[in-house]
Chain A
């Protein structure tokens, strides 16, 4: 199991839930298990470009990206990109 934490706007869209426990072998699988998956991925299944994802504080784009493997017990944080001040 891993823990996924989402920001407030996504929590609003998930009925107020900010944290999810999911069982998935990859980051993609973990995010696709969320009730807000359509807000994280576009209709092609691509992670939206301004959605940042960190596994244990590491930016997945600096590593294996959305296919990053999970061993269990990790904390995944979804953070909206900050730009423009």
Chain B
């Protein structure tokens, strides 16, 4: 199998195909030209893309032939009695069997049990008792993170900006907020509410039971008890609390990667999000190897200075050994580290703004 990267951009989907060492990359595409590809994933031979267009709306597109031809999932929408209309599709996550999950705005989730032929809105989330207290982040009220337990299909985590993290223990029938210890520094009257946190990305560690990582508008967090309690981690080595993406190492549960933006200290009462540029004009990938107790730069090979943005879907890791880390910038570069952040290679440049990066095999 050939390593590949699905690169969703503001102007379609590109595929980078690599050599076995993950050092040489060839660019293919664009596919879905003209569409904003918020996220794409390859599962069981098919590519699924959350593709949006300012004129023609929000879609899920499928390709069974590596991107040559595409088929749209029709009938995607929200029931009239909800008072909601579909705004954007954000993230497609494969579940167990033929199930796929689709995160979308405004703060909604869809489920397909026939590999994307038909999608049904998850009404338990639409009718959630806390929904009135949810608010959109700058990117809309998006359900952007969906993490399904690798062996237990009943356990699903989602992240919604700005509602927070929710967990289902019953295959999506009910959802419980899991935000204890997660700050909402922008809420002066209640910095630790039940819901309303601006989660930017949540990842479930596939091997270490109960462990999740989170980059939030207000800090970097880890939980070891399935989201019951979150520990804030960024005060030892990170230049900022603020950032969007996060990546993990499936072989080393204590390793994670973030790309901080702005230069704010949540611990000092500051709230990030004003600048949305790499901290200090440095494209700094920061790595922890001790579960977030300390962080260090892992930026060998990255350009400096570099005033860029990496979006919430813009970073990924593979399942190789050593683990490869990947990220794309809004200025159109894709960087690859074939060795856990020890060094970085620019795999592509001058692409349209990169919205998402996902690892695949070809």
Shortest CB–CB separation between residue A67 and chain B, in angstroms?
A: 20
Residue of B nearest to A46 (CB): B85
Please report the C-alpha to C-alpha distance between residue A43 and residue B72 in the assembled complex, in whole angstroms.
15
- Residues A38 and B74 in contact in the complex (CB < 8 Å), given A43-B85, A43-B86, A44-B85: yes
* A42 at the binding interface (Cβ < 8 Å): yes
Residue of B nearest to A37 (CB): B74
- Residues A42 and B55 in contact in the complex (CB < 8 Å), given A12-B33, A13-B72: no
CB-CB under 8 A from A33, the residues of chain B are: none
A48 in contact with B56 (CB, 8 Å): yes
* A10 at the binding interface (Cβ < 8 Å): yes
Q: Is the interface of B mostly helix, strand, loop or mixed?
A: loop
Interface bracket on B: 10 to 19
Interface residues in B292-337 by Cβ distance below 8 A to A read: none
- Residues A81 and B55 in contact in the complex (CB < 8 Å), given A38-B76, A44-B85: yes
A10 in contact with B56 (CB, 8 Å): yes
Residue of A nearest to B78 (CB): A43
* B131 at the binding interface (Cβ < 8 Å): no
* A51 at the binding interface (Cβ < 8 Å): yes
B55 in contact with A43 (CB, 8 Å): no
Please report the C-alpha to C-alpha distance between residue A80 and residue B53 in the assembled complex, in whole angstroms.
11
Give the number of residue pairs across the A-B interface with Cβ within 8 Å. 45
Interface residues in A17-56 by Cβ distance below 8 A to B read: 36, 38-40, 42-44, 48, 50-51
A38 in contact with B55 (CB, 8 Å): no
Q: Is the interface of A mostly helix, strand, loop or mixed?
A: mixed
Interface residues in B46-87 by Cβ distance below 8 A to A read: 53-57, 59, 70, 72, 74-78, 80, 85-86
Please report the C-alpha to C-alpha distance between residue A61 and residue B182 in the assembled complex, in whole angstroms.
49
Interface bracket on A: 10 to 19
Please report the C-alpha to C-alpha distance between residue A51 and residue B53 in the assembled complex, in whole angstroms.
11
CB-CB under 8 A from A80, the residues of chain B are: 55-56
Shortest CB–CB separation between residue B270 and chain A, in angstroms?
A: 34
A48 in contact with B57 (CB, 8 Å): yes
* A62 at the binding interface (Cβ < 8 Å): no
* B34 at the binding interface (Cβ < 8 Å): yes
Instruction: Report which B residues bind A (CB closer than 8 A).
Output: 33-35, 53-57, 59, 70, 72, 74-78, 80, 85-86
Between-chain CB contacts (< 8 Å), 17 pairs: A9-B33, A9-B34, A10-B56, A12-B33, A13-B72, A38-B57, A38-B76, A42-B57, A42-B85, A43-B77, A43-B86, A44-B80, A44-B85, A48-B55, A48-B56, A50-B55, A51-B55
The 7 closest A-B pairs by CB, nearest first: A43-B77, A39-B56, A50-B55, A80-B55, A9-B34, A38-B74, A42-B85
